Protein backbone atom coordinates (compact mmCIF):
# COMPACT_ATOMS: atom_id res chain seq x y z
CA UNK A 1 0.00 0.00 0.00
CA UNK A 2 1.19 3.51 -0.81
CA UNK A 3 2.69 5.21 2.22
CA UNK A 4 3.05 2.03 4.25
CA UNK A 5 6.28 0.81 5.84
CA UNK A 6 7.21 -2.68 6.94
CA UNK A 7 9.35 -3.15 10.05
CA UNK A 8 11.17 -6.43 10.66
CA UNK A 9 13.43 -8.00 13.26
CA UNK A 10 16.19 -10.33 12.15
CA UNK A 11 19.31 -12.25 13.06
CA UNK A 12 22.43 -11.73 10.94
CA UNK A 13 25.75 -13.42 11.68
CA UNK A 14 24.65 -14.20 15.22
CA UNK A 15 23.47 -10.68 16.03
CA UNK A 16 19.89 -9.43 16.33
CA UNK A 17 18.73 -6.25 14.63
CA UNK A 18 15.74 -4.49 13.14
CA UNK A 19 14.95 -2.27 10.23
CA UNK A 20 12.69 -1.34 7.35
CA UNK A 21 11.97 -3.83 4.62
CA UNK A 22 12.64 -2.35 1.18
CA UNK A 23 11.97 -4.90 -1.52
CA UNK A 24 14.57 -7.63 -1.11
CA UNK A 25 16.71 -5.55 1.28
CA UNK A 26 16.55 -4.33 4.86
CA UNK A 27 17.53 -0.78 5.82
CA UNK A 28 19.05 -1.41 9.24
CA UNK A 29 18.02 0.91 12.09
CA UNK A 30 19.25 1.57 15.61
CA UNK A 31 17.56 2.64 18.83
CA UNK A 32 13.97 1.79 19.70
CA UNK A 33 11.63 0.67 16.94
CA UNK A 34 8.78 2.47 18.72
CA UNK A 35 10.65 5.68 19.58
CA UNK A 36 12.29 7.50 16.68
CA UNK A 37 14.52 4.71 15.40
CA UNK A 38 17.22 5.93 13.03
CA UNK A 39 18.81 4.30 9.99
CA UNK A 40 22.48 3.55 10.58
CA UNK A 41 23.44 3.48 6.90
CA UNK A 42 23.72 -0.30 6.66
CA UNK A 43 21.66 -2.30 4.16
CA UNK A 44 21.38 -6.09 4.29
CA UNK A 45 20.01 -8.47 1.67
CA UNK A 46 16.82 -10.09 2.92
CA UNK A 47 18.21 -13.46 1.85
CA UNK A 48 21.18 -13.03 4.21
CA UNK A 49 19.13 -12.79 7.41
CA UNK A 50 16.77 -14.95 9.45
CA UNK A 51 13.52 -13.13 10.17
CA UNK A 52 12.28 -13.15 13.73
CA UNK A 53 8.94 -12.21 15.26
CA UNK A 54 8.86 -8.48 14.43
CA UNK A 55 8.64 -7.38 18.08
CA UNK A 56 8.91 -8.81 21.59
CA UNK A 57 5.48 -8.37 23.20
CA UNK A 58 5.25 -7.87 26.92
CA UNK A 59 1.63 -9.01 26.62
CA UNK A 60 -0.14 -11.13 24.02
CA UNK A 61 -3.87 -10.44 24.19
CA UNK A 62 -6.21 -12.76 22.28
CA UNK A 63 -9.86 -12.04 21.44
CA UNK A 64 -12.80 -14.43 21.23
CA UNK A 65 -16.16 -13.90 19.49
CA UNK A 66 -15.05 -10.74 17.69
CA UNK A 67 -16.59 -11.51 14.27
CA UNK A 68 -20.26 -11.36 13.37
CA UNK A 69 -20.11 -14.34 10.99
CA UNK A 70 -18.53 -16.67 13.53
CA UNK A 71 -20.98 -15.60 16.24
CA UNK A 72 -23.85 -16.40 13.88
CA UNK A 73 -22.38 -19.81 13.03
CA UNK A 74 -21.86 -20.68 16.70
CA UNK A 75 -25.30 -19.36 17.66
CA UNK A 76 -23.93 -17.04 20.32
CA UNK A 77 -24.85 -13.43 21.01
CA UNK A 78 -22.45 -10.60 20.26
CA UNK A 79 -20.48 -9.40 23.29
CA UNK A 80 -21.05 -6.03 24.90
CA UNK A 81 -17.36 -5.77 25.72
CA UNK A 82 -14.28 -7.44 24.20
CA UNK A 83 -13.85 -11.02 25.40
CA UNK A 84 -10.14 -11.50 25.87
CA UNK A 85 -7.48 -13.69 27.41
CA UNK A 86 -3.71 -13.52 27.78
CA UNK A 87 -1.39 -15.93 25.99
CA UNK A 88 1.98 -16.58 27.63
CA UNK A 89 4.84 -14.55 26.16
CA UNK A 90 6.62 -17.86 25.52
CA UNK A 91 4.06 -18.54 22.78
CA UNK A 92 5.79 -15.96 20.56
CA UNK A 93 7.27 -17.64 17.51
CA UNK A 94 9.00 -16.56 14.32
CA UNK A 95 7.78 -16.43 10.73
CA UNK A 96 9.10 -19.55 9.04
CA UNK A 97 9.45 -21.44 12.33
CA UNK A 98 8.37 -25.06 12.67
CA UNK A 99 5.71 -25.56 15.33
CA UNK A 100 5.94 -28.89 17.11
CA UNK A 101 3.47 -30.77 19.25
CA UNK A 102 3.82 -29.91 22.95
CA UNK A 103 5.41 -32.87 24.77
CA UNK A 104 2.55 -33.13 27.30
CA UNK A 105 -0.36 -32.65 24.87
CA UNK A 106 -1.70 -35.30 22.49
CA UNK A 107 -4.94 -33.67 21.32
CA UNK A 108 -6.08 -31.63 18.34
CA UNK A 109 -4.12 -28.56 17.28
CA UNK A 110 -6.04 -25.85 15.45
CA UNK A 111 -5.00 -22.95 13.23
CA UNK A 112 -6.58 -19.49 13.50
CA UNK A 113 -5.56 -16.82 11.01
CA UNK A 114 -5.89 -13.35 12.52
CA UNK A 115 -5.03 -9.68 12.29
CA UNK A 116 -2.59 -8.51 14.95
CA UNK A 117 -2.39 -4.98 16.35
CA UNK A 118 0.99 -3.83 17.66
CA UNK A 119 0.96 -1.05 20.24
CA UNK A 120 3.52 1.73 19.81
CA UNK A 121 3.09 3.89 22.90
CA UNK A 122 1.81 3.59 26.46
CA UNK A 123 -1.98 3.59 26.43
CA UNK A 124 -4.31 3.70 29.43
CA UNK A 125 -7.95 4.82 29.71
CA UNK A 126 -7.69 6.03 26.13
CA UNK A 127 -10.43 7.61 24.08
CA UNK A 128 -10.56 6.58 20.43
CA UNK A 129 -8.29 9.40 19.23
CA UNK A 130 -5.67 8.41 21.79
CA UNK A 131 -6.12 4.74 20.92
CA UNK A 132 -5.56 5.44 17.23
CA UNK A 133 -2.35 7.29 18.06
CA UNK A 134 -1.17 4.35 20.19
CA UNK A 135 -1.39 1.84 17.33
CA UNK A 136 2.06 1.39 15.80
CA UNK A 137 0.96 -0.96 13.06
CA UNK A 138 -0.49 -4.31 12.07
CA UNK A 139 0.83 -7.81 11.58
CA UNK A 140 -0.33 -11.31 10.66
CA UNK A 141 -0.96 -13.88 13.42
CA UNK A 142 -1.66 -17.60 13.63
CA UNK A 143 -3.31 -18.01 17.05
CA UNK A 144 -2.54 -21.72 17.42
CA UNK A 145 -4.79 -23.55 19.87
CA UNK A 146 -4.79 -26.94 21.61
CA UNK A 147 -8.51 -27.47 21.20
CA UNK A 148 -9.02 -30.58 23.31
CA UNK A 149 -7.78 -29.04 26.55
CA UNK A 150 -10.22 -26.13 26.27
CA UNK A 151 -13.21 -28.09 27.62
CA UNK A 152 -11.27 -30.77 29.50
CA UNK A 153 -12.58 -29.52 32.84
CA UNK A 154 -16.38 -29.09 32.64
CA UNK A 155 -16.30 -26.39 35.31
CA UNK A 156 -13.65 -24.12 33.82
CA UNK A 157 -12.99 -23.39 30.13
CA UNK A 158 -9.20 -23.35 29.83
CA UNK A 159 -8.73 -20.68 27.18
CA UNK A 160 -5.33 -19.47 28.35
CA UNK A 161 -3.94 -22.98 28.76
CA UNK A 162 -5.16 -24.12 25.34
CA UNK A 163 -3.45 -21.15 23.67
CA UNK A 164 -0.30 -20.84 25.78
CA UNK A 165 1.82 -23.81 24.75
CA UNK A 166 5.34 -22.78 23.78
CA UNK A 167 5.52 -21.44 20.23
CA UNK A 168 1.74 -21.22 19.74
CA UNK A 169 1.78 -17.58 18.55
CA UNK A 170 3.81 -17.13 15.38
CA UNK A 171 3.39 -13.68 13.87
CA UNK A 172 4.96 -11.48 11.23
CA UNK A 173 6.88 -11.41 9.01
CA UNK A 174 6.65 -7.63 9.52
CA UNK A 175 4.72 -4.88 11.24
CA UNK A 176 3.04 -2.73 8.60
CA UNK A 177 2.51 0.94 9.46
CA UNK A 178 0.33 3.42 7.60
CA UNK A 179 -2.16 0.72 6.59
CA UNK A 180 -5.95 1.04 6.50
CA UNK A 181 -7.15 -2.46 7.40
CA UNK A 182 -10.89 -1.78 7.09
CA UNK A 183 -11.12 -3.16 3.54
CA UNK A 184 -8.70 -6.06 3.94
CA UNK A 185 -9.31 -9.79 4.34
CA UNK A 186 -7.58 -12.63 6.16
CA UNK A 187 -6.83 -15.70 4.06
CA UNK A 188 -5.47 -18.96 5.43
CA UNK A 189 -4.20 -21.81 3.27
CA UNK A 190 -3.47 -25.26 4.72
CA UNK A 191 -1.29 -27.48 2.52
CA UNK A 192 -2.40 -25.60 -0.60
CA UNK A 193 -6.14 -25.56 0.20
CA UNK A 194 -7.88 -22.35 1.30
CA UNK A 195 -9.53 -22.78 4.70
CA UNK A 196 -10.28 -19.22 5.76
CA UNK A 197 -11.12 -16.08 3.81
CA UNK A 198 -12.96 -13.45 5.78
CA UNK A 199 -13.24 -9.63 5.74
CA UNK A 200 -11.89 -7.54 8.60
CA UNK A 201 -14.89 -5.24 8.12
CA UNK A 202 -16.93 -7.97 9.88
CA UNK A 203 -15.08 -7.37 13.15
CA UNK A 204 -17.37 -6.57 16.10
CA UNK A 205 -14.80 -4.29 17.74
CA UNK A 206 -12.73 -2.57 15.07
CA UNK A 207 -9.06 -1.89 15.94
CA UNK A 208 -9.33 1.65 17.31
CA UNK A 209 -12.41 0.85 19.39
CA UNK A 210 -10.79 -2.37 20.56
CA UNK A 211 -7.60 -0.66 21.74
CA UNK A 212 -9.63 2.01 23.53
CA UNK A 213 -11.71 -0.57 25.40
CA UNK A 214 -8.76 -2.80 26.27
CA UNK A 215 -6.88 0.20 27.64
CA UNK A 216 -9.62 0.55 30.24
CA UNK A 217 -8.89 -2.96 31.49
CA UNK A 218 -5.08 -2.78 31.47
CA UNK A 219 -2.28 -0.45 30.50
CA UNK A 220 -1.03 -1.26 27.02
CA UNK A 221 2.68 -0.85 26.41
CA UNK A 222 4.89 -0.52 23.31
CA UNK A 223 5.29 -3.88 21.65
CA UNK A 224 2.14 -5.43 23.10
CA UNK A 225 0.34 -7.64 20.58
CA UNK A 226 -3.44 -7.83 20.27
CA UNK A 227 -4.72 -10.84 18.31
CA UNK A 228 -8.06 -9.61 17.00
CA UNK A 229 -9.85 -12.96 16.91
CA UNK A 230 -10.77 -15.17 14.00
CA UNK A 231 -13.83 -15.99 11.93
CA UNK A 232 -15.31 -19.02 10.17
CA UNK A 233 -13.10 -21.75 8.76
CA UNK A 234 -11.07 -22.67 11.83
CA UNK A 235 -9.97 -26.30 11.74
CA UNK A 236 -7.47 -28.82 12.98
CA UNK A 237 -4.18 -29.74 11.40
CA UNK A 238 -4.42 -33.36 10.29
CA UNK A 239 -1.10 -34.38 8.81
CA UNK A 240 2.09 -35.16 10.68
CA UNK A 241 3.76 -32.41 8.61
CA UNK A 242 1.73 -29.46 7.33
CA UNK A 243 2.26 -25.96 5.99
CA UNK A 244 0.03 -23.03 6.94
CA UNK A 245 0.11 -19.68 5.12
CA UNK A 246 -1.85 -16.73 6.53
CA UNK A 247 -2.08 -13.70 4.24
CA UNK A 248 -3.42 -10.19 4.71
CA UNK A 249 -2.79 -8.23 1.52
CA UNK A 250 -0.82 -5.08 2.24
CA UNK A 251 0.54 -6.53 5.47
CA UNK A 252 2.17 -9.80 4.46
CA UNK A 253 2.12 -13.59 4.45
CA UNK A 254 3.01 -15.58 7.55
CA UNK A 255 4.23 -19.09 6.76
CA UNK A 256 4.86 -21.83 9.31
CA UNK A 257 5.25 -25.58 9.19
CA UNK A 258 3.76 -27.94 11.74
CA UNK A 259 5.33 -31.23 12.82
CA UNK A 260 2.80 -33.16 14.85
Query: For residue 229, what is the domain's CATH number?
Result: 3.90.850.10
75-101 confidence digits (pLDDT tens): 999 999 999 999 999 999 999 999 999
Intervals of the chain under pLDDT 50: none
Q: Which domain holds residue 149?
A: 53-259
Pair (124, 184) in one structural domain: yes
Give Cα separations from 92 to 26, 88, 166, 170, 182 (angstroms): 22, 8, 8, 6, 26
Pair (62, 172) in one structural domain: yes
What stretch of H or E contains 150? helix 147-150
Pair (61, 169) in one structural domain: yes
Pair (184, 208) in one structural domain: yes
Pair (2, 76) in one structural domain: no
Pair (14, 60) in one structural domain: no
**Read out DSSP for 179-226?**
---TT-EEEEEETTEEEEEEEGGGBSS-HHHHHHHHHHHS-B-TT-EE
Pair (248, 133) in one structural domain: yes
Pair (174, 68) in one structural domain: yes
Q: Which CATH number covers residue 11? A: 2.30.30.370
- Residue 239 has a pLDDT of 86
- Residue 3 has a pLDDT of 81
168-207 confidence digits (pLDDT tens): 999 999 999 999 999 999 999 999 999 999 999 999 999 9
- Residue 252 has a pLDDT of 98
- Residue 2 has a pLDDT of 62
Domain count, the chain: 2
Amino acid sequence: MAGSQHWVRFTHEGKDGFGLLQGESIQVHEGDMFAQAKANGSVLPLAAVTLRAPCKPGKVIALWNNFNALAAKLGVSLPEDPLWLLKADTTVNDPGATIKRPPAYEGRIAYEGELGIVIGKRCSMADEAEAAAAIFGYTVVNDVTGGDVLRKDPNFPQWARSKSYDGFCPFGPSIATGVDVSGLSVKLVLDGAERQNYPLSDMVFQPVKLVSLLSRDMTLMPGDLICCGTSVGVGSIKGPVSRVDVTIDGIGTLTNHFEL
